[in-house]
């Protein structure tokens, strides 16, 4: 038997104001769209903003459904929308913010497993890392240089 160790690394910003201006703007747009999420069941609102290499910004918020799990997370709403509208564009940066209607979320909240897999698919497809910034409703912001930090043993088309 042998053992492997996988290390990940994140930059930690104390607040949105500490981010580069371009990312601050992206995160503010994620916060704004988060407030428009349709989350009557979980009371947990998520907003995502993507910056594409063509300069376009694509937004998404989580959309729930009584016929669970028919809803969709904010990250996948934004990613799939960008793929439909701008199929040749590469995703450069992704900003994600989450907040609960019932309690304050100060800890950075990363994408769920399904969203990590979707981000991985697009990162693999474009052969370029996607910078991912994530936070709660306030407080620290974590930055990952690639989905590989959040999903180090990813599944891609090479396994098929």
Active site residues: 75
- Location of structure tokens 């934004």: 78
Task: Judge whether 3 is annotated as a binding position.
Answer: no
Residues contacting 61, CB < 8 A, separation 6+: 33, 34, 36, 37, 38, 45, 46, 47, 48, 74, 77
Distance CA 108, CA 143 (A): 10
49 is in an annotated binding site: no
Residue 65 counted as an annotated binding residue: yes
Ligand-binding site membership of 14 (annotated): no
**74 is an annotated ligand-binding site residue:** no
Q: Which of 80, 66, 75, 70 is nearest to 33 (CA)?
A: 75
84 labelled binding-site residue: no
Q: Which residues are annotated as a binding site?
A: 62-68, 73, 112, 115
Q: Which residues are annotated as a binding site for substrate?
A: 62-68
Q: Which residues are annotated as a binding site for Zn(2+)?
A: 73, 112, 115
């Amino acid at each position: 038997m042998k053992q492997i160790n996988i290390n990940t690394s994140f930059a930690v910003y104390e607040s949105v104001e500490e981010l580069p201006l371009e990312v601050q703007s992206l995160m503010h747009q994620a916060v704004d769209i988060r407030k428009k999420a349709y989350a009557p069941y979980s009371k947990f609102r998520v907003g995502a903003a993507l910056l594409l290499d063509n300069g376009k910004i694509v937004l998404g918020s989580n959309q729930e459904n009584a016929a669970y799990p028919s809803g969709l997370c904010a990250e996948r709403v934004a990613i799939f929308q960008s793929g439909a509208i701008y199929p040749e564009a590469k995703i450069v940066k992704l900003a994600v913010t989450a907040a609960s209607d019932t309690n304050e979320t100060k800890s950075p909240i990363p994408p769920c497993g399904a969203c990590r897999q979707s981000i991985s698919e697009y990162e693999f497809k474009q052969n370029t890392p996607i910078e991912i910034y994530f936070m709660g409703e306030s407080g620290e912001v974590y930055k990952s240089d690639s989905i590989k930090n959040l999903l180090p043993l990813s599944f891609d088309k090479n396994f098929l």
